[in-house]
Amino acid sequence: MGSISLKTKSKSNNLTAPGDVDLGAMIPIATSTVGAGGVATVTFSDIPQNYEHLQIRFISRNTRGSNTLDAIGIRANADSANNYANHRIYGAGATVTGTGEITVNRITISHAPASTGAGANAFGSGIVDILDYKNTNKNKTIKSLGGYDDSTQSNGIVGLYSGVWLSTTAINSLTIVSTDGTGFSQYSSFALYGIKIAGA
């Protein structure tokens, strides 16, 4: 089902007809669905520079064995050096944990079930906001909400995550990684959206 938005036309707050581009509209840019055999990473490259913010929405399962859950990270512009910092607070089962990291090689954006440790067909999901991604006057801030629930396990997880890429360079690509390096299982899916510049 589609949605109808209204755009502020002038300072008098008159509204134009439905169908006009609204302030903050989300525009689909690209999607990636993992095929048989899985993939090590998912990259969105050549990101257009005509939006104000970006958002990624995903459903994923990691290929790591001998573990129940695993972290997911994100990198900007193929930068895999220790130029990131992040922190998070999450609940796993009945335990709430808060942690932080500095000088790491990615920003943690969520946790997902791992292929052999979690119940069959369990996938995690998350929403990631990449703010002011093309502004060259500030470091790049990323925040996300994610986790998963697994009816066959007692260790589902939900968390709030945020981090910074310590660079003022405009972001033109984003790479999503499994933090243990194994990758993502078949049927994992990632979608990139652009948040339009106000009034555009």
Which tens digit of pLDDT belongs to each residue from 145-178?
999 887 655 667 899 999 999 999 999 999 999 8
On the question of pLDDT at 11 being above 60, the answer is no
Alpha-carbon distances, residue 23 vs 1, 15, 26, 103 (angstroms):
20, 12, 9, 36
What pLDDT was estimated at residue 194? 97
pTM equals 0.85
Among residues 126, 36, 30, the alpha carbon closest in space to that of 72 is found at 126
Choice among 98-107, 110-119, 139-148 with the minimum mean pLDDT: 110-119
For 77-122, strand residue ranges (E) read 84-92, 95-104, 107-113
What pLDDT was estimated at residue 200? 60
pLDDT average, residue stretch 43-69: 91
Sign of CA dihedral 110, 116, 117, 121: positive
* Cα radius of gyration (the chain): 18
On the question of pLDDT at 10 being above 50, the answer is no
On the question of pLDDT at 16 being above 50, the answer is no
pLDDT average, residue stretch 175-200: 88
What pLDDT was estimated at residue 8? 35
3-state secondary structure of 11: coil
